[in-house]
Amino acid sequence: MSSIATIIKDESLASTLRIGFFSLAACSVVGLAAYIGYRAAGPNQTYALHSRHPESNDQIEKVLESLRLDDEKLRQIMQLLEQEMDAGLSPATHKNADVKMFPTYVRNIADGTETGQVLALDLGGTNFRVLLVTLLPQSRVELTSKIFVIPQSIMLGAGVNLFRHLADCLLDFMKKENLVKPGVRYPLGFTFSFPCKQEGLASARLTSWTKGFTCSGVVNEDVVNMLQTAIDEKGLNVQCVALVNDTVGTLMACAYKDPNTAIGLILGTGTNACYMEKLDRVGTWDGDYNEPKQVIINMEWGAFGNNNRLNHIRTKYDEEVDLSSVNPSKQIFEKMISGMYMGEIVRLIILDLMQQDLLFIGQRDGYGDYRTPLFTRGGFYTKFVSTVETDEGIAFANTRRVLEDMGIRNPTFDDCAIIQHICKNVSKRAAKLAGACLAVLINRINKPNVTVGVDGSLYRYHPRFKRNMEKCMKNLVNKNIKFKLTLSDDGSGKGAALIAIVADRFQQSQLKSIPSFDDNDDEEVRTPIQSSLSNPISFNIQSPTNTLIRTLP
């Protein structure tokens, strides 16, 4: 009986296993069939590209076609920029030129051999930084910095109090770093991010306040002189030897590690560029012609096109952005490529497609209206452009998140694909324009190897901007020139310090070339020469610390 029971149990188990196996197989077949059906009906890559992707939609492509620039158009733009540059450099046409081409009086770049300690002040808003930069052999840099707040009462008060506040903070920093020592003087580079007319390497007059500052008694005054007066009142052994533009600082920060650096570029909220120019091309130069016969030019290229010379490539969206801005008909080139305006261009294109019922179909409410910030000026941030373009494949997770933040509930696959397509076209146009204008500078410099130092949030965070620039530039830069784009490292801080130390090194070399005078020399001859020279600056080298970057509390 026991053997019979065992057989029955075994047959029952086998039967159960057979049933389970066939059930599993059946489920697998059903699941596979369902998946195949989904793939056949759903938005796979091939289907998206050939049937539902916006590139196949003639109406959408007609809207975006106005953004596209081929190499022929880009070469025309390059010729126009070259003409504008020459106008800015000529004394006969400089006054009315849009691209101003200001000489910065910076004539030497760092070459990596600089050593010593130098201070920097970086003032660009309600906070400012004090930095100690220690330059070590083999192009090594140590930075110690502290951020200070500027109270609103000082921002709106007398200008003399602003500079006294800067000097107070500098003194506080130097005491904590044990830099207040008898007989030791420090050069200082001053990054002052407000509109100025530069009259020398260490001389610049403020033309207007921005960013919420209204300090009295500063406009049309020499800000370097005001800072130096405040520093001297504190009894500090510090001399401001250079006022720095952020593009020049970007160039200098890169040049310290790469001597082929000859261009600085800012691609962020705004845009600007500088480059090293030969003195014989600078008709507006009012300095000496001693070696080196070169000077860095601050282009202010954001104003390119103010004279309507870019109208042939501007779209109706560019025109609307300009008209609604705080400075209509100004900074035309900047409004086509910079971070402040890119998101707004995308928003206007989205609205245009919505009005043509090509986008967000079915998103209207019961009253036939859309409930979305897209109808608010500035409602689509440029950071959203970068976020959308990080999406790969067909999931569009980031794009969906952005659209849902915009009040678009459950956006369709088509909606997401179209939004990404718009963003790519707008950012690619910006990259091409920046790349073409950069190619003008590289070809003008005409050296075998040219490095471009670049900084700014747009360049730093957009996933494709650099790649699109380089792809465009390969067709426009002369074939005998190799170029490289390098992300700059703290141009407003380290760059300012490097400019200060290079300026001081050049100043000391000039001191050595001045003849000595004895007591029998004519006082009238001796005094003017000696009084025109600044006191030489000595450097205090300290042992390197363990950390390369240190921020004080």
Q: What is the pLDDT of residue 530?
A: 34
HSE at residue 485, side-chain half, CA atoms within 13 A, is: 23
In sequence order, the β-bridge partners of residue 129 are 122, 147
Distances in Å between the Cα of 417 and the Cα atoms of 60, 289, 356, 428 are: 12, 58, 17, 16
**Runs of H (alpha helix) within 204-270:** 223-233, 246-255
Instruction: Name the more confident of 545 and 87.
Output: 87
Residue with tokens 């050049």: 506
Using only C-alpha atoms, what is the Rg of the chain? 31
- Return all residues near 440 (Cβ < 8 A) that are at least 6 apart: 78, 81, 82, 85
Cis bond before residue 151 (omega within 30° of 0): no
pLDDT of 314 higher than 90: yes
**Beta carbons within 10 angstroms of residue 493's beta carbon:** 23
Distances in Å between the Cα of 270 and the Cα atoms of 11, 56, 329, 334, 457 are: 81, 34, 16, 6, 10
Q: What is the pLDDT of residue 195?
A: 79
Contact in structure between 415 and 360 (CB atoms under 8 Å): yes
pLDDT digits (tens, 9 = 90+) for 31-76: 444 444 434 334 443 334 334 454 447 889 999 999 999 999 999 9
Over residues 254-259, mean pLDDT: 89
Taking the C-alpha atoms of residue 5 and residue 8, their distance in angstroms, rounded to an integer, is: 5
The DSSP call for residue 136 is E
Q: Nearest 5°: phi and psi at 143?
A: -120, 130
- Return all residues near 57 (Cβ < 8 A) that are at least 6 apart: 358, 418
Contact in structure between 487 and 123 (CB atoms under 8 Å): no
In sequence order, the β-bridge partners of residue 196 are 206
pLDDT digits (tens, 9 = 90+) for 82-100: 999 999 999 999 999 999 9
Q: Which among 98, 246, 489, 504 is annotated as catalytic? A: 246
- Is 164 catalytic? The answer is no
- Is 66 catalytic? The answer is no
pLDDT digits (tens, 9 = 90+) for 189-246: 999 888 788 899 999 999 888 778 899 999 999 999 999 999 999 999 999 999 988 8
| pLDDT confidence band for 160 (50 / 70 / 90) | very high
Q: What is the mean pLDDT of the chain?
A: 83
Contact in structure between 421 and 54 (CB atoms under 8 Å): yes
Residue ranges with strand state E in 213-347: 238-244, 261-267, 271-278, 294-298
Instruction: Name the more confident of 435 and 23.
Output: 435
Contact in structure between 348 and 322 (CB atoms under 8 Å): no
Residues in the chain: 553
- Is 185 catalytic? The answer is no
Q: What is the pLDDT of residue 14?
A: 52
Q: Which among 98, 107, 122, 129 is annotated as catalytic? A: 129
Over residues 105-131, mean pLDDT: 86
pLDDT digits (tens, 9 = 90+) for 180-195: 998 888 999 999 888 7
Q: What is the pLDDT of residue 368?
A: 52
Q: What is the pLDDT of residue 357?
A: 87
In sequence order, the β-bridge partners of residue 298 are 102, 274
Written in H, E and C, the secondary structure of 464-484 is CHHHHHHHHHCCCCCCCCEEE
For residue 331, the one-letter residue type is: Q
Distances in Å between the Cα of 230 and the Cα atoms of 187, 238, 456 are: 15, 11, 32
**Beta carbons within 10 angstroms of residue 319's beta carbon:** 15
Contact in structure between 503 and 241 (CB atoms under 8 Å): yes
* Tally of helices (H runs) and strands (E runs) in the chain: 18, 14
Contact in structure between 346 and 370 (CB atoms under 8 Å): no
Contact in structure between 552 and 178 (CB atoms under 8 Å): no
Q: What is the pLDDT of residue 520?
A: 46
CA angle centred on 376, ends 373 and 380, rounded to 5°: 65
Contact in structure between 343 and 381 (CB atoms under 8 Å): yes
pLDDT of 383 higher than 60: yes
Q: What percent of the chain has pLDDT over 70?
A: 80
Q: Which among 193, 203, 325, 457 is annotated as catalytic? A: 193
Contact in structure between 399 and 420 (CB atoms under 8 Å): yes
Q: Nearest 5°: phi and psi at 490?
A: 55, 65
301: nearest Cα among 75, 440, 99, 444: 99
What end-to-end distance do the CA atoms of the chain give, in Å? 89
- Return all residues near 301 (Cβ < 8 A) that are at least 6 apart: 81, 99, 271, 272, 273, 333, 437
Instruction: Name the more confident of 258 and 52.
Output: 258
The DSSP call for residue 48 is I
Go through the domains of the chain in sequence order and give each one's CATH number: 57-104+258-480 (3.40.367.20), 105-244+490-514+522-553 (3.30.420.40)
Angle, to 10 degrees, between the axis of helix 382-389 and the axis of helix 339-355? Answer: 80
Instruction: Name the more confident of 57 and 455.
Output: 455
Which sign, positive or negative, has the C-alpha torsion 527, 530, 531, 535? Answer: negative
